[in-house]
Structure 1
């Protein structure tokens, strides 16, 4: 496969458990302290903690009427999209909206809304069910809200590949640009796992950490004592443009999406292939798409959920594909797992690391699991790097895999 043109990232918008905006999020990444804390919304549940976005006032940011009709994940998506477009120096009032596409990755929606509405169903109070019940359940509504808010009349797509959704959306947005289907692509992911239904569901699967007495120590990717992931939430939005057109308009460029790979494990509906064959295919495809070899990669932002099987499979794959052992970080140790938003958040984190030439450390990594012993894991403090290319991996239920090769500006 010959390399395709890299696509420029001219805008970034972040709403994360580390803060809202690039500066707050980057400061949180460098501080290296997990955002996990006990959450009153989850009070009384077997797992009563998560990584919530702090001080997110949707009424103030969006106006009360708009915030009222949107689910939290859609609120965050819209705030991040506005940030990203402003960061790109673009004005929706003056652009050609017919040439602007929106691609948003969403793994699941409306779980907080479900909590409320199903109580009405259970009590046979059908007249109390919200008239917004159906719209707030649709996975495409956040993308539609972004399109309407930004007057983006081009393709408006929603992608659902579980926890790979955000990364998949970035890859598909790049494809739309390179195909000539649009001139600007607003892409990324949004999701909120902060709900009672989501917590109970993942808890019943045995997927969540149960460190209820020490939530900040619960997310432990690649640690021998890990016991599951921590729910998170947020939105990460990128503005993509063809690199030559970004240069021509004098845009500030955060970096480039140089390669994208996607694959399926075709193995099990929730359990990853223990040999990591599907994840390896996605990673090698992304490298080939970028016209690079494994040795060109200077660091990896791993999917690293802190589940037993997931971390083992990913560590094995990274060891095979990258024998030169580039530095590896796992930022879910800080943010928790934002599910369908995680791939977009971590792509943005990787671009920030490339721009600052510093890789954030993995938190709570006290005793490296034997299966990850060959990886050069970044621990204790951020590490300075010089290489201009990095990999961000995202994997999800259904055997969904996505990998992005990102390069510095």
Structure 2
């Protein structure tokens, strides 16, 4: 039987609505995302118009309640949408994941009044969010953050710098973690900060290896005043709010990673089926066929892992360990699969004429964001064995 091109991903979706949603996502990805991806990533163009289109399609609030403008979809469905977006263009898939992460604190820990006031606009598709936890000297050790919020009248004054902020400088709102009390995790509080707040400025975007279309920048808080009504949760509750958000956010990164890996596999399938060497297609050589088989198997395993974790989340069961496992395995898989795709394309894989090299560069950052994969191993080990003993 002749090769007919890369095989579409088979989805097992719980409802007809979910199947329609995936069909809409695939159509949007092919029409709006994929054709522009290579040129705009090379030029470092942020596709705000595309994210607006994604928002208008209802994809910026999928896992949140319909009563607040969300899609009311289980995480199992949301993550598969995210994978489809990331396969077409990671900047967009990651953008949706970060926006979802930025909404998590208010949706999960805000008061009824706060959710009613802010969530409809945040989930409705016209606004874009960002999540501000990391700092120049507080990356993996997020509990050591130094940005401070001090009581001032009926509100708070924020001073400090956040680093590695996706959508930094272009977001309409920021979920910000700041120190309001003692050192350590118990002195941190969460705030919802408008993107145009006086005293809030963004540095020039970082010059990155990949994801050039996604702005990543430091944010400077120079006397930014926010009303106490924008404090999310109780004083000192911010770190636990942040960890809860990261558990869900790691699943988003896992789904994005599988999307990138799936795109790389499709490119490798297509190339090896068409490229002829020694009188026959590369795909006829057993060594290369086995590479493709290993790539496909790892992708399927990663997808099964992130979906299993999502189903635990949807059922209200603990899923922190499984989220860390999914983030670890899926992002390591994306790095391995994209590297193999470059190898399978040979010299062509090393050129920008084919997307394989871009997938490889983009996969690298997924092993770093939302907690490095070394941190994921620590999380998993603690779930298995308890905290480390210290002599």
Question: Do both proteins adopt the same fold according to a TM-score greater than 0.5, normalized to the shorter chain?
Answer: no
Coarse TM-score class (shorter-chain normalised): under 0.3
TM-score, with length taken from structure 1: 0.25
The structure with the largest helix share of the pair is: 2
Larger radius of gyration: 2
TM-score, with length taken from structure 2: 0.26
